Structure 1
Amino acid sequence: MTDIITSSAHVAQAGNAPTGAAVTIRRAADVSQLVNNSDSSRSNARIVIGIALGGVFLDAYDLGALAFGMKDVTREFGLSPSGAGMIASAITLGAIVGALIGGYLTDKIGRYRVFMADMFFFVFAALACAFAPNEYVLAGARFVMGMGIGIDLPVAMAFLAEFSKLKGRGNKAASIAMWCPTWYAAISVSYLLVLFFWSVLPESHSDWMWRIILGFGAIPALIIIAIRSKYMSESPIWAANQGDLHGAAAILRNSYGINAHVAKDADLTPARPVRRASWGNYAALFKGVYLKRTTLATVTSIVSPFAYNAVAFGLPVIISSFLAQSMLTTILLSLALNLLFAFTGGILAVRLVPRFGAWKMMTLGYICQITALLGLALVGRPEDGHQAAISVAMLALFLLGQGFGPGAHTMTYASLSYPTSLRGVGVGFNQMMVRASSTASLFLFPVLAAALSTNVFWVIALAPIVGLLALLAIRWEPSGYDVDAEDFALNGK
């Protein structure tokens, strides 16, 4: 009981009974090694990872919920193209601000506290969107929702990295890559909801659909709020790095069933972090060994969402306008493409990254995307069924490449290029770049598509080309590398 009483780290209410011989820990590196070598019996740790992925699901759902509703929003509020761009980009602007704050707080006050707070953003913002009386309230609510997303992703990635083992199936890279199929599952759920309400709502109330879809986002957030206190714990590695070995031992016992205890002769003074959390840590991302890693993670995180958002957010528009299909066919084809190719690609990323590494999968993913975008540009507006089939195949190839390549592993690079003491600000900075790129692509795609028609794909193809060149220039492989050991080398613990 002493470990729990003297600890400030939060330990979940429900957990595993410790089994096996007692394990003694004397320093933070011991905690990291126990997590790195943990076996598949870590049931409570799996639940923590699942809850963290629930936050990712919510992020994706809220970001993609307006994909089918923008036409209705534009019509209801009489928006100009710039007004529509304001609504579409408000959530990503909020995410930029949230990522800056969330990255710092994740390292400063811990993963658990930040995660406990950010879910409330989603509940209130989703309800405000559902009942928005005008475009300004809608844009403001989407901005607040974006802040929640920006705060959530650094802490979610920290949980995925710090509750997973280092090597083998289900390793840190695979756990982080799980964010990708989770993301596409959320997009698919939004499509299914659109399909359901499109089927049941009378035509006279079709303008309710976008409000219902946005408001639905409050439900998974409430579910996470209801179960998080019972199962969520602070990251044991973060707690240990703060000098709280007793708290880390309690988490290991509760989440992993590891019979861990702090040695009586362990050096607990001074109880200080290996690298103090500060705003200045953002500058540390561009120093020493981290400069090349940050450069690669930043470049790929700018170009990947630019291409993906232009294609994915515009997918319903592309299918309905370029292929001249009905609303029902548009919904079903968008759903099928996301499930069969983007989601499947994400699953492949999870299964294959322990074997092949993130670099090879990213490289192949970019090659697929370049091929797909050039194919879409060459076909242009399909004039017959054969050309339409080619266009759909190219969209499928793009989404498959996104799923197993940059879609999954830009986050792998963002999360595993930095040790525990820098992981929050590392992912936070990365997400600032992602959201800035997303904001630009969401705003520019309608404008470029209107001006260039299908020639817009020539412009979009430049993004994966730049990403591929960055990978060829900087051959950094984060999968299977013990990046947290860099913290222990810093202070000799």
Structure 2
Amino acid sequence: MSAPGIPSRASLAERLDALPFTRRHFRVLSGSGVGWALDAMDVGLISFIIAVLAQQWDLSKAETGWIASVGFIGMAIGATLGGLLADRLGRRQVFAITLLIYGVATGASALVGGLAMLLVLRFFVGLGLGAELPVASTYVSEFAPRRIRGRLIVILEAFWAVGWTAAALIGYFVIPASESGWRWAFALGAIPAAYAIIVRWGLPESPRWLASRGRISQADRIVAAFEADAGITGGPLVHKAPTPRAIADHAATRLGTLWYPEFRVRTLCIWVIWFCVNFAYYGAFIWIPSILVDAGYDLVRSFGFTLLITLAQLPGYAVAAWLIEVWGRRATLSVFLAGSAVSAVLFGTATGVGAIIATGMALSFFNLGAWGALYAVTPEIYPTSLRGTGAGWAAGVGRIASIVAPLIVPVLLAAGGAPLLFAIFAGFFIVAAIVTWGLVDRRGQALDDR
């Protein structure tokens, strides 16, 4: 039994789940969300910059495809390493380091004079970005009370729409303003380097992670601070037999444990879903500005269309955030993926400005709502000792698709144009929607703190 006066890991988890939403929760959510938005801004900017550099540097489709794909190679490596490091070193520490890496690399990209150096820096941008996203969702999920955990993760993911909208605004107003507009866009991407310092010192470490490492007193102080913020003081501690030891303590063991019989089906399913959604999302949204330019619209008009399409992301997140605690994770994710499939087919066959914008907005609405649900369900399906690793490797496998997609898009466009391209994207969304039903749904349940 736990010694008198010392909270067990179980009691810490129960106290976290019993909390109302407090100012400290808001600080964790908004602090992580701003980092998430800055990430989205960087990914979004490259889609606009590619369209400009293709003209300024007279790049081929293959070369512009590599500008996108080399970043995703870095993201694939970063996601797998970031998850392992987050389980080893802590969520907050890795979150801050990754922001610093990609912020510096993005700022340095403003100074490049040719394709080779840009590709090198884009790799390091991807390395930081890929590690940060699964770590941030894991971090927030471990603070969130269980009755609103899914909703908070979808709200966290909604910051992606804020960042992508910022990228679209920069793409519309800054990049076309001068020949060096794309350099100013990269310079703005250096903001995360400064923000990393705020993250490192301004946010608490995850008490669930601290408890999993045996640092119970530190975890208790953090939970007590949240309780004090909610007006809960001097409440009775719940003493229980210690929960089982962490399932895995070493990186190699954690990776192998993902394929134990208990986790095998959910690991396979979540990897397939991440692969399919990444392929369709990045294949479409990285190339939309360039596809519109190729269709005969000038840069300013194509960037304006993309801005309008991007604005539909926010209501998509809002609806997903509500439904995820009403329908559950699997139903919400599968419905939004099915909606993405239908929207992709309609967008690929759209003609005329009104149809392009309407179907593009529908694609944004459903696709980004699906992303919100996916980020909510991923960290929940694994115990604390595996959570960072499981989320990171799922994201890493997904990044393999995001590497391949921008390279395949020019080939598919040449073979059958936008109708063929977006029909293939729809097929990937349908596969993901079906496989979603192989996941566990932990709506309203406590996280597994093994």
Q: TM-score, normalised by structure 2?
A: 0.91
Q: Unpaired runs of 5+ in structure 1?
A: 1-22, 488-493
The structural deviation recorded for 1:259 is 4.3
Give the distance between the partners of 1:266 and 1:417, measured in 2 at CA. Answer: 24
Amino acid in structure 1 at the alignment position of 2:435: A
1:19: which partner in 2?
A: none
Give the distance between the partners of 2:355 and 2:56, measured in 1 at CA. Answer: 35
Do residues 215 (structure 1) and 187 (structure 2) align? yes
SS in 2 for 1:152: helix
1:66: which partner in 2?
A: 46
Instruction: Return the match for 1:403 from 353, 361, 368.
Output: 368
SS in 1 for 2:447: coil
Contact 1:242 1:274 in 2 (8 A): no
Contact 1:297 1:413 in 2 (8 A): no
Instruction: Return the match for 1:89 from 69, 76, 100.
Output: 69
Instruction: Return the match for 1:296 from 269, 272, 280.
Output: 269
1:414: which partner in 2?
A: 378
Amino acid in structure 1 at the alignment position of 2:265: K
**Deviation sequence 1:180-205 (CA, Å, 0-9, x none):** 32111111101111222256x3xxxx
The structural deviation recorded for 1:365 is 1.1
1:357: which partner in 2?
A: 328
Amino acid in structure 2 at the alignment position of 1:137: M
1:248: which partner in 2?
A: 219
Which of 27-36 and 211-220 deviates more? 211-220
Contact 2:111 2:183 in 1 (8 A): yes
Give the distance between the partners of 2:24 and 2:100, measured in 1 at CA. Answer: 24
Change (3 A) 1:392 1:482: same
2:12: which partner in 1?
A: 31
1:464: which partner in 2?
A: 429
The structural deviation recorded for 1:325 is 3.2
Give the distance between the partners of 2:54 and 2:15, measured in 1 at CA. Answer: 54
The structural deviation recorded for 1:432 is 0.6
Bigger CA radius of gyration: 1
Change (3 A) 1:375 1:274: closer
Do residues 427 (structure 1) and 402 (structure 2) align? no
SS in 2 for 1:187: helix
The structural deviation recorded for 1:261 is 9.4
Give the distance between the partners of 1:253 and 1:312, measured in 2 at CA. Answer: 44
1:448: which partner in 2?
A: 412
Give the distance between the partners of 2:340 and 2:59, measured in 1 at CA. Answer: 33
Give the distance between the partners of 2:278 and 2:159, measured in 1 at CA. Answer: 16
1:44: which partner in 2?
A: 24
Do residues 325 (structure 1) and 297 (structure 2) align? yes
Contact 2:247 2:386 in 1 (8 A): no
Give the distance between the partners of 1:155 and 1:363, measured in 2 at CA. Answer: 24
Amino acid in structure 1 at the alignment position of 2:68: A
Give the distance between the partners of 2:392 and 2:181, measured in 1 at CA. Answer: 33
**Deviation sequence 1:152-186 (CA, Å, 0-9, x none):** 1232112111110001xxx2111211233211111
Which of 224-233 and 362-371 deviates more? 224-233
Work out the percentage of aligned pairs sharing the same amino acid.
24
What aligned pairs does 1:70-219 form with structure 2 within 5 A after superposition?
Answer: 70-167=50-147, 171-198=148-175, 201=177, 206-219=178-191
**Deviation sequence 1:469-493 (CA, Å, 0-9, x none):** 2135x263233232324x1xxxxxx
Amino acid in structure 2 at the alignment position of 1:332: G
RMSD of Structure 2 on Structure 1 (CA): 2.6
Q: Unpaired runs of 5+ in structure 2?
A: none
Do residues 53 (structure 1) and 17 (structure 2) align? no
Contact 1:236 1:252 in 2 (8 A): yes
Contact 2:82 2:392 in 1 (8 A): yes
Contact 1:416 1:479 in 2 (8 A): no
What aligned pairs does 1:259-278 form with structure 2 within 5 A after superposition?
Answer: 259=233, 273=246, 275-278=248-251
Give the distance between the partners of 1:457 and 1:150, measured in 2 at CA. Answer: 25
Give the distance between the partners of 2:37 and 2:69, measured in 1 at CA. Answer: 19
Which of 64-73 and 272-281 deviates more? 272-281
**Deviation sequence 1:428-467 (CA, Å, 0-9, x none):** 1011112111111122112321332122222222101211
1:337: which partner in 2?
A: 309
1:20: which partner in 2?
A: none
Contact 1:56 1:182 in 2 (8 A): yes
The structural deviation recorded for 1:266 is 9.3
The structural deviation recorded for 1:66 is 1.3
Give the distance between the partners of 2:246 and 2:339, measured in 1 at CA. Answer: 43
